[in-house]
Amino acid sequence: MVQSEAVLVSHDTSKCIVCDVRSRSLFPNCDELELEKLAVHVEDLNFRTDVPLYTEGDAVNGVLKLRRGMVKIVRTAVCGRTRIVRVLGPGDVIGLEAIDLASYGSTAIALTEVSVCRISLKVIQQLAKSSSGVRMPILHQMQRALREADDWLVDLNFGSARQRVCNLVLKMRRFTNPDFTVLLSRNDMGSMLDLKHETVSREISHLVHEGAIERLNKTGRLYRILDLRLLKCYKDPRQSTS
Amino acid sequence: MVQSEAVLVSHDTSKCIVCDVRSRSLFPNCDELELEKLAVHVEDLNFRTDVPLYTEGDAVNGVLKLRRGMVKIVRTAVCGRTRIVRVLGPGDVIGLEAIDLASYGSTAIALTEVSVCRISLKVIQQLAKSSSGVRMPILHQMQRALREADDWLVDLNFGSARQRVCNLVLKMRRFTNPDFTVLLSRNDMGSMLDLKHETVSREISHLVHEGAIERLNKTGRLYRILDLRLLKCYKDPRQSTS
DNA sequence: CGAGCGCTTGACCGGCGTCAACACCCGTGG
DNA sequence: CCACGGGTGTTGACGCCGGTCAAGCGCTCG
């Protein structure tokens, strides 16, 4: 019940040196000495499932580097309904859209157990100085986020319910093993695709019956991909003449 | 017919110094001497309506700073249908999502007569060196673009057709005079909202009949806003019980 | 004046939202 | 051990929003 219990902080600065997630993507050019200096401004944080990492309106004091787990970024429209605008995984940087702003405009919620590093703005500035122009890692991360946002719009919010669900199934493939897909709750999927959870469920069932995917566990989260062509080339039922 | 006629290039480097659009947003800290050096790598370009500024697959050699007119960013989904993912106006930077990449993943098309400055990557790198961390103007522009992308998703691609059209009408208000709204063609609006042009037309007509907006010209592009409350608090017809 | 384009409006119908019922999983308490 | 209750996923019936097709109008340009 006490939410602060969900956050465990550790200050083991030596971790930055061995953590290849961070060094590879954000500190590619730093040697060990530089990393040690930066690590003072880096905190390790852990969150349990369904706990917010930050909430709309919270003060911004850095970015979060996601090391383990998945996070959803949620925004509420004027009408009060909420919408998932992004889902982030290991290696992604959380909170880029609020960098150089005072407060967050969205809420980040842990979809699983999550481990992140909070990287203070001081470190970001340090990074900017030590790197050259467009090679700047933080710039690269933002460019990636921007392209991801466009993908999200084009692939997941366009066309029929069937097309959207197909594209989501494709997007959620484990890239370590592309034969498998891990989905979210039907409600979350609906919030990503602007569909109701019943519609999502129906479309998934349809894909199973067609033989495109196969359910692997009872909770309906893990599936094996059987027919990639079916998922990719799905006709829009709204415009197919067959 | 000869498309290259649509592009007029001038190399008047002295313009950078007097162009407040550029200096304000991208070179806030540069003095005149620095500006002169940078201006060598800045080209002035002009495009006619409906002419692409760049096309998906084109090589990236800088970003475009939009000085005059409006530009739509278009992407084609796997199924072949195209979608407008962004509309940019004066002051916006075009092509940020392709910075540090080899080629564009989208197409930019002039919605009106357009004037831009092409700013080479050299200048961007120069900018990064002379500024400090999160204050970096290009970073600020990217952060703005990212937040805009999220707004786009939440406001324009969520809920009923009526809500979407209302939010688009609100988004397209002239901020110099918020009583007026300038819309695009019904097809372009449909491509932004994931609606057919007939549906867009119907919803606009509905808003006119309700007295929320008033048509001011015959082509159906310019409207006066009569009742802001009606536009903002529109009930979703799919969930209203009245 | 006719051709072409964009906007509007109507008729029809199909996909998706809504409501409902039910199955299943899991934690709690008897 | 089973009973119970809440949360999530699935499936069906039905109604309505929005896509589709079509016709007609006004504007622009040759």
Which among A83, A129, A154 is the nearest to B83, CB-wise? Answer: A154
Spell out the SS3 assignment of chain A: CCHHHHCEEECCCCHHHHCHHHHHHCCCCCCHHHHHHHHCCEEEEEECCCCEEECCCCECCCEEEEEECCEEEEEECCCCCEEEEEEECCCCEECHHHCCCCECCCEEEECCCEEEEEECHHHHHHHHHHCCHHHCHHHHHHHHHHHHHHHHHHHHCCCCHHHHHHHHHHHCEECCEEEEEECCCHHHHHHHHCCCHHHHHHHHHHHHHHCCEEECCCCCCEEEECCHHHHHCCCCCCCCCC
In sequence order, the β-bridge partners of residue B84 are: B74
Least confident residue range of A126-135, A153-162, B66-75: A126-135
The pLDDT value recorded for residue B105 is 94
Percent of chain A topping pLDDT 90: 56
Mean of the pLDDT values across residues A123-140? 72
Return the closest nucleotide (C1') to the Cα of B236: D17
* B110 or A14, higher pLDDT: B110
**Any strand D atom closer than 7 Å to A201 CB:** yes
Query: Is the pLDDT at A21 greater than 90, yes or no?
Result: no
Instruction: Tell me the C-alpha distance between A18 and B100, whole Å.
Output: 28
Please list, in sequence order, all residues whose beta carbon lies within 8 angstroms of the beta carbon of residue B31, skipping any fewer than 6 positions away: none
The candidate with the shortest Cα–Cα distance to B142, out of A149, A120, A31, is A149
pLDDT, residue A193, reads 97
**What is the average pLDDT across A185-191?**
96
Task: Encode pLDDT of B92-107 as tens digits.
Answer: 999 999 988 899 999 9
The pLDDT-based confidence of A16 (bands split at 50, 70, 90) is: low
A108-125 mean pLDDT = 88
What 8-state DSSP symbol labels residue B92?
Answer: -
The pLDDT assigned to B240 comes to 37
A198 touches strand C (CB under 7 A): yes
- Best mutation target, B93, B158, B167, B193, to test chain A (most A CBs within 10 A): B158
The span from the CA of A162 to the CA of A154, in Å, is 14
**Cα torsion angle, B89, B93, B94, B98, sign:** negative
Instruction: Find, in chain B, the residue whose alpha carbon is nearest to that of A236.
Output: B79
Q: Across-strand partners of A74?
A: A84, A107
Q: What is the pLDDT of residues B123-149, one digit of tens each?
A: 877 776 666 655 678 888 899 999 999
Mean pLDDT calculated for residue range A127-147: 78
Where chain B has pLDDT below 50, the residues are 1-5, 237-242
Percent of chain B scored above 90 by pLDDT?
Answer: 57
